[in-house]
Amino acid sequence: MSRLDDIFARLRAERRTGLVTFTTAGDPDLERSADVLRVLDRAGADVLEVGVPFSDPLADGPVIQRASERALAAGGTLATAIDLVAGVRASVEAGVVLFTYANPVLRMGLGEFMARAADAGVDGVLVLDLPIEEADGLRGAAADAGIDPIFLLSPTTTDARIRRAASLGRGFLYGISRLGVTGARDAIAAGASELAGRIRSVTDLPIALGFGISRPEHVAAVGRWADAAVVGSALVDVIARTANGDLSGEVERYVRWLRGAAPAPTRE
């Protein structure tokens, strides 16, 4: 079993909703980005989704776009993201998933990418813009490296493509609860439960739901349909707002609040 298998098995045994946190590697800079990952692990995140900074994102809203811009300006690349994971791996218990677009992987080379990611301790890889029909190579390279390939599913994904993703994927499947780009919302999309049900009907793989989740009640709601909630833009916004202040403290308070273990942050 992989580390992600172990994490989701434990969550199911404990009947607890998992928390997957997204941050951009190198935001606000490489040193503090490493500190943030350690804080997220300490605060109770079950999986750390580490975004590779990219200049031309397709699905990221303005908050994460600006995080990529900050990380790129600080020298962030796919290679530095892998090095970031390697630097914190021994000190965090959470699973680590690299979230990237295809272009940086193709530039590095798929085999080299997987080998370097495995050496760094990466547990899973999600290539956002890789069509499922072209994912056999990724799946094979990931399996050879002992890394779980993770696939993205949306409300418009056909049942046939859900089955294909389930047959190729490992670790968990990532369902996006709404169409459009990333960004915090006041409420979870109405179609989130339907999507989770469609995925659940064809596979026993764990399901993580994201896009728009920002509050403890959102996490609790997701737990009725899926194994984990993914929080991205709202957390990245905390990093942006507190980069020149108590960054680690505010990140920890926010994640503990999401987990129901701390009062609401002062700026909510």
- Whether 217 is a known active-site residue: answer no
Residue 15: count of CB within 10 angstroms of its CB: 7
**The tokens of 111 are what?**
């085999």
Fill in the DSSP letter of residue 179: S
- Residues 235 and 63: their CA atoms lie apart, in Å, by 10
First-last CA distance in the chain = 39
Q: Give the contacts of 244 (CB within 8 A, at least 6 positions apart).
A: none
Select which of 27, 46, 60, 123 is catalytic: 60
- Whether 136 is a known active-site residue: answer no
- Residues 114 and 20: their CA atoms lie apart, in Å, by 22
What are residue 223's DSSP bridge partners? none
- Residues 214 and 178: their CA atoms lie apart, in Å, by 14
What are φ and ψ of residue 110, in 5° steps?
Answer: -60, -45
Fill in the DSSP letter of residue 115: H
Cα-based distances in Å from 161 to 2, 47, 134, 157, 164: 24, 25, 12, 6, 5
State yes or no: cis peptide before 62, omega within 30 of 0. Answer: no
Residues 144/117, Cβ–Cβ less than 8 Å? no
Select which of 27, 41, 49, 237 is catalytic: 49
Residues tagged active-site: 49, 60
